[in-house]
Amino acid sequence: MSVAHVVAAAHGSLVASIPSPSQGVWHLGFVPIRAYAFAILAGIVVAVLVCRARWVERGGNADDVLEIALWAVPFGIVGGRLYHVITTPEPYWGKDGNPAKALYIWDGGLGIWGAIALGAVGAWIGCRRLKVSYPAFADALAPGLLFAQAIGRLGNYFNQELFGRPTDVPWGLEIDPAHRPLGYEQYATFQPTFLYELLWNTAGGLFLIWLDRRFKLGHGRVFWLYVMIYTTGRVWIEALRIDDAEHILGLRLNIWTSILVWVGALVAFIVVGRRHQGREKTVELAAKEPEHTDAA
């Protein structure tokens, strides 16, 4: 056997793929245990723990985080589902659609834009009730949000959904025939977009923590950096996906949304940086002092 044959055989033995889970739901008696729900819950727990540690570093009360989360999480889930249903209406309101499935959150489908928007409203309510700085809380939460989103993508992995175009790279994701979109039935492996976003968001969260400690950022600037990091990744990852989506001028709606939000976040970061240097001296608000709205 020639050297070329040996090299080819060795290369072939290294080529592999990522297998998809055989199931995403287990039953404990009559109670379904869903991997997607566990991924969302695990992400929330991690975000709360990271935020709690960072909030205390900023001089906040650790108990504040859980109380604010009790407002932000339900608002975020409702907002995420609303965004998904509105921007992906076909499974619910289109031909052969089932409107009742709009309530089936456990089957997947939470739009990050709606989750962040309404979740921010919930967090604002919590901060106002506790009389603490909303921008400071957003800064404390930002890295944890990226970690939560990274963990949440494991739910897509178990559901075998939101993967990318067909590929033959060694890390291609195996998709069962039942989960392959129309027109792609002949392909076995696809781009593992869940993995790309998991790695991107994890690295982004760690980068944010380093930046914040290095430059003592405050007044909402960490949050705006979070938005820019997430949307940058979302643009190129979204471009790989082949699931049904609304398109505008040939691009998926979420790509346009990411671009517009990125620009808005950049403007907000610059404006806040010019108005406020460094970090807040305290996260507590005076009883009658109105809070500025730089991170609103």
Residue 153 annotated as binding? yes
Q: Which of 137, 18, 164, 170 is nearest to 67 (CA)?
A: 137
Residues annotated in the binding site, as ranges?
153
